[in-house]
Amino acid sequence: MKTVTLKIRRFDPEQDQGPYWAEYRVDVEEKDRLLDALHKIKWEQDGSLTFRRSCGHGVCGSDAMSVNGLNRLACQLLMERLPDKITIMPLLAFRVIKDLVVDLEPFFAQYEKIKPYLVNDEPLHSPSVSRRLSSTPGMRRARNAFSAPAAPVLAP
């Protein structure tokens, strides 16, 4: 167990004149993630601290923030890899809603414009799509060979 100091840039536009820094000391395990340390602050020290989190596994990206000057995901940063003093700020390119929560609407608007995903122009049940998605007996045999048990199953 070690004690770390988290220096967090706070701002609530409904109450504060401008952003300010708050420091919190937290006891963490080496294998804890930064997200765990933020939870400890919220649950044990300051319930008003606001941040996003969702999946906790680095898939959704909702807990993105600036950590020691780099944009990172709090759920992927192990405390053992961070110094004892950590500076956390909201993402700099976005308007702050509160504390570490930023307005992501401009990001999603741009995302929708560029459509970074595949768009199928053919109906799902067209002959060409059916041919691509269907499997031949040889393909099924090959797939089944790779999914067979590693050791033979012996009957009693």
Tokens found for residue 27:
């006891």
Looking at the predicted structure, is the pLDDT value of residue 32 above 80?
yes
Residue 88 has pLDDT above 90, yes or no: yes
d(CA 27, CA 37): 8
Residue 70: pLDDT over 90 = yes
Domains of the chain with CATH codes = 2-103 (3.10.20.30)
pTM of the entire predicted model: 0.71
Binning pLDDT at 50, 70 and 90, where does residue 39 land?
Answer: very high
